[in-house]
């Protein structure tokens, strides 16, 4: 039998085909790099720490208030349309201004430095507490897929002063970031104080056992003269398709003279009034005001609900969080703060809205200055090649599909 020798044309065609097929394969390999680690601990690993909680049953945690696990049928079609067609609406029209943090050598009586989204540094009675630190470029388990930052980090993580505790509200990627955790293990000595079950993620990422403190709702721990209390929130958890295997929480940071409430990420709940009655009033509240939508009204507050929650808590100064940094919903970029300021004025609530990186002395807050209107909200889709904070066009479609699955499952 005679051997068939490919022609030079056939060889070139085969090489071209191999190169074409190799491109997507390389992209997928890069997108999946480190995925198992970033997803966190398995359900079995978490359950060993969670099973004793009265809020844990049938393999998952539950809200005390009935909270639908999926959007109502009437909202699902509109939500899917928004996921696929309106992901660009939340972009800023111009660069978000940053403020180089000016952190004193000694922590103050009461101050907060906001780094963007829900990441902030609290100063309470001479101690420092870092909350929901996310310094990563993407809030995703993948280096190539998922929402990207809308503004740079205002301060390198290595430039943070010594902190006395790190608080985390729950395990969603925009609140618990693997690269940030690993950096804090190297650069800080503070304990990670987290809701029940979340410690399994941290241990798997190299956080020493002695630096992990897990609490159930109403549990408390004393750290460096501060009492950190894990309080109720109305939300959910999960780092992929499996939900609610770890607890979600808000936090109270109480010193000898001042008290701060950190909302993390939550829908409105009557628990705010109970927390205010038992642990308040609060000199300062940090409450989420962004990423709201009718389809998930039970798990994300509107700006007006945040003002109501502030009142329930007996709050003094209010600082909004959970906005500006990642494009996670379908409202316009500046809308949360515009609505917040209007609601706060009606209710006579004092508000400070710092730029990312700006430090606010909560005992002598600056006058409210409108800096967000100059940034504005993008009118439509970005120019060709823009990604709306999601990644390449392929990545954006994949991220949209995964988002829809998460929201509708």
pLDDT tens sequence across 272-294: 999 999 999 999 999 999 999 88
**What pLDDT was estimated at residue 72?**
56
The CA distance from 236 to 250, in Å, is: 12
> By C-alpha distance, which of 359, 335, 375, 303 is closest to 92?
375
Q: What is the mean pLDDT of residues 53-68?
A: 91
Q: For 2-18, how does the pLDDT look when each residue is reduced to its tens digit (9 = 90+)? A: 444 455 665 565 545 54
**Residue holding tokens 């005992």?**
363
Residue 24 has pLDDT above 80, yes or no: no
Could you give the strand order of the β-sheet that contains 192-195, starting from the edge strand earlier in sequence? 212-215, 192-195, 165-167, 127-131, 119-124, 110-116, 359-361
Percent of the chain with pLDDT over 90: 68
146 pLDDT higher than 50: yes
Look at residue 83 in the predicted model and tell me its pLDDT.
53
| CATH architecture observed for domain 110-394 | 4-Layer Sandwich (3.60)
Mean pLDDT score, 254-275: 98
Provide the token pair at 104.
């004193």
Q: Is the pLDDT of residue 391 over 90?
A: no
Cα angle 333, 336, 337; round to 5: 100
Tokens 């074409």 belong to which residue?
20
Q: b/e map of 184-223 (b: 16 or more CB within 10 Å)?
A: bbeebebbbbbbbbbbbbbebbebeeebbbbbbbebeeeb
| R_g of the chain computed on alpha carbons | 22
| 136-145, 224-233, 358-367, range with the lowest pLDDT | 136-145
């Amino acid at each position: 039998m005679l051997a068939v020798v490919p022609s030079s044309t056939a060889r070139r065609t085969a090489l071209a085909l191999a190169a074409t097929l190799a491109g997507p394969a390389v992209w997928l390999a890069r997108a999946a790099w480190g995925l198992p680690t970033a997803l966190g601990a398995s359900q079995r690993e978490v359950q060993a720490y969670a099973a004793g909680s009265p809020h844990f049953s049938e393999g998952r945690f539950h809200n005390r208030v009935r909270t639908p696990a999926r959007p109502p049928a009437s909202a699902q079609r509109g939500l899917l349309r928004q996921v696929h067609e309106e992901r660009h609406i939340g972009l800023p029209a111009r660069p978000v201004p940053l403020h180089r943090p000016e952190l004193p050598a000694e922590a103050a009586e009461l101050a907060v430095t906001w780094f963007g989204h829900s990441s902030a540094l609290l100063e309470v009675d001479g101690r420092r507490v870092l909350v929901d630190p996310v310094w990563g470029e993407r809030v995703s388990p993948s280096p190539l897929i998922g929402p990207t930052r809308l503004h740079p980090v205002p301060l390198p993580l290595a430039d943070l002063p010594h902190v006395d505790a790190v608080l985390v509200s729950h395990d969603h990627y925009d609140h618990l970031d693997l690269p940030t955790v690993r950096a804090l293990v190297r650069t800080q000595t503070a304990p990670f104080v987290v809701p029940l079950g979340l410690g399994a993620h941290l241990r798997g990422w190299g956080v020493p056992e002695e630096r992990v403190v897990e609490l159930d709702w109403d549990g408390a721990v004393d750290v460096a003269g501060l009492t950190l209390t894990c309080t109720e929130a109305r939300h959910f958890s999960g780092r992929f398709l499996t939900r609610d295997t770890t607890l979600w929480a808000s936090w109270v940071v109480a010193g000898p003279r001042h008290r701060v409430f950190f909302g993390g990420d939550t829908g409105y709940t009557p628990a705010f009034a109970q927390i205010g009655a038992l642990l308040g009033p609060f000199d300062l509240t940090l409450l989420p005001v962004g990423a709201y939508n009718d389809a998930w009204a039970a798990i994300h507050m509107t700006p007006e609900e945040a003002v109501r929650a502030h009142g329930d808590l007996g709050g003094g100064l209010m600082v909004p969080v959970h906005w500006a940094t990642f494009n996670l919903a379908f409202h316009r970029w500046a809308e949360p703060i515009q609505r917040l300021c209007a609601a706060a004025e009606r209710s006579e609530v004092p508000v400070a809205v710092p730029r990312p990186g700006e430090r606010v002395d909560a005992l002598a807050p600056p006058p409210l200055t409108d800096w967000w209107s100059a940034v504005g909200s993008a009118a439509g889709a970005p120019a060709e090649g823009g990604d709306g904070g999601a990644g390449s066009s392929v990545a954006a479609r994949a991220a949209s599909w995964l988002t829809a699955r998460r929201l509708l499952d």
